[in-house]
Structure 1
């Protein structure tokens, strides 16, 4: 993985984490936290969506949307665990 790919990977993670934090109210993690949430969201989406037959396409926008949806799932699961 080149340095450009790593930078794009981190930017997509940050945008997806920020977007998920905006949608799921009450979660603000800062830049580093948003990157981690976005990357974990991308992992969740990468594992879950193909098993469900969901494909959002290719490209940066699809990657951000997919990672954001995975991050939203992650944040909602965290909210459920904290209430329990």
Structure 2
């Protein structure tokens, strides 16, 4: 993978991760690096799911793919942010 591909993955991961954090209610206790990593993973898995559902290439913006990716990022952030009861 070229450096431009890595930079693109980080930028997309950041966007997906931040949007995923906005969907999760309350304050999350995870850092920016975790947000980016979750966003990158959600972007790849969401793209695969969109391909499986055959909705990855539409005219204009791929809204369904974005919604899948953001939803996966929100699930990942909520799962990573879980702490034992009473430790918040």
Q: TM-score range by the shorter chain?
A: 0.5 to 0.7
Distance in 2 (alpha carbons) for counterparts of 1:58 and 1:4: 25
Q: Aligned-pair RMSD on alpha carbons?
A: 3.4
Deviations along 1:34-60, one digit per CA (max 9) or x if unpaired, are 11110111132123222223225489x
Structure 1 length normalisation: TM-score? 0.64
Write 1 or 2 for the structure with the bigger share of helix: 1
Q: How many residues align?
A: 80
Matched residue, 2:36: 35
- Call closer, same or farther: CA 1:70–1:30 in 2, change over 3 Å: same
Bigger Rg over Cα = 2
Contact 1:15 1:34 in 2 (8 A): no
Structure 2 residue runs of 5 or longer lacking an equivalent are 84-88
